[in-house]
Each structure stands twice: as structure tokens, then as C-alpha cells.
Structure 1
Amino acid sequence: MKKDFTKEQLKETVAYQAMSRIGILYKIEEMIHDKTPEEKYAERQKQSRPVLDAMFEWLHTMEDSVDRSSLIGDAILYTLNQEVYLRRYLEDGHLSIDNNSAERALKDFAVGRRN
């Protein structure tokens, strides 16, 4: 049975809060996408690192209390297990926040192979 949430209830969910924080990180990346790698590094240290630090601190507070067999529990634990890798883009202005461009490049190859 699907439960309908009010806007206020939705904003209190773990998933909504996590996506809000991730959205902030992507907005920062959008603002700095034309900058040099050195400028990206500096901006990420100033803007992104505090957001990411707060997000992981928040996730760690839920680590012991979350139902590990639930979908949100699984997502939290997966994210915490990947923390080192998810933070890596902060250390190098040449790196992207995600691997979307690499996946897009491979998609064309995979689609062509299927045809």
C-alpha cells in the first residue's frame, strides 16, 4: 500500500534530506564547471567539502539505528562503505563528481554492438 506524504512529511524523510544535500553538491559543480582544475579544487575545498563532511557525519549518526534490511538502511550502509571513493573528487580538480560522461561514451559503443 502506497502512503501519501504531505510536503512537510516528505522533507523529514532520510531520502529527501540526502537528495537535498547531494543536490547542493551538484549545484556547486554546475557553478564551477568552466573553471580550471586548480580553481575547481579551491572551490570544492571551500564549498563542497563542508557539505560532504556534514552529510557523512549525518549518515554516521544513523549507522547503528537504521534497519539494515530496509532499502534506506541498505543505501546508507552502501554510501558509508563508499565514502573514501565518493570523497575522491574533492582532492583533484581534474576529476568529476560522477562518472556520467564515461558512461555516456560507453553507451554509444554498447548500443552499436547490440545492433
Structure 2
Amino acid sequence: MRLHRTLGTTVGALLLALAVPSSAHATTGDFLYKTSTGQDAGVSDQESGVCINLPGTTEEAPGNSPQNFTISTATVFLETDCNGDTYSELKPGAKLGEDVKVRSVIFA
């Protein structure tokens, strides 16, 4: 009987642990890019589902060469606020070249 209660308690604790939401920083790692002036830049450990307007980019001169060294998929957009029809998806570890222009990113 004692083993039965212990097993039930263990299973209950496991189910509770699985029900608790995970950390909001689902994008552990670095997302790198080049600014409009060609300088290296990046963001680290960002929240999943939150759009980031990339510093050092402008409408006239977007950034380029995105590199996703996070554990999440990154979607980069030519427009700010993760808007527009021009975007690219980068799986973890993916790198794109200078021809890919970026101004914002969101992680899934």
C-alpha cells in the first residue's frame, strides 16, 4: 500500500511540473546581424513571440546577414514591427547572406 501512495505522489508531482509554463526566454542564444553601417550587432536570450525592431537599422538602410544561434526558429522581416510580405525564416544554426535585408525579428 505504501508503494502505491508513493507512486501516486510521484506521478502527481510530475504532472504538476509539466503543467507549469516554461520560461519566457525560449530563445536561449544569440541572434546576430550586420547593421546598416556594416557593424556586427545582435540580441540575446529574447522572449518567444515578441517582435524586436533591430537596433542600427533604418528604413533607408536595413541590416543584413542574419545568423540564428538560438534554440528557436527566427523569422526576420524587412519592415519594422514584424510586418510586411518580405520575410525569411531561419532555423536554429542558420545563416543568411548580405542579400537578406532585416529590420525586425520574432522567435517562435
TM category, shorter: under 0.3
Higher share of residues assigned strand: 2
Could you state the TM-score of these two structures normalised by the residue count of structure 2?
A: 0.25
Could you state the TM-score of these two structures normalised by the residue count of structure 1?
A: 0.24
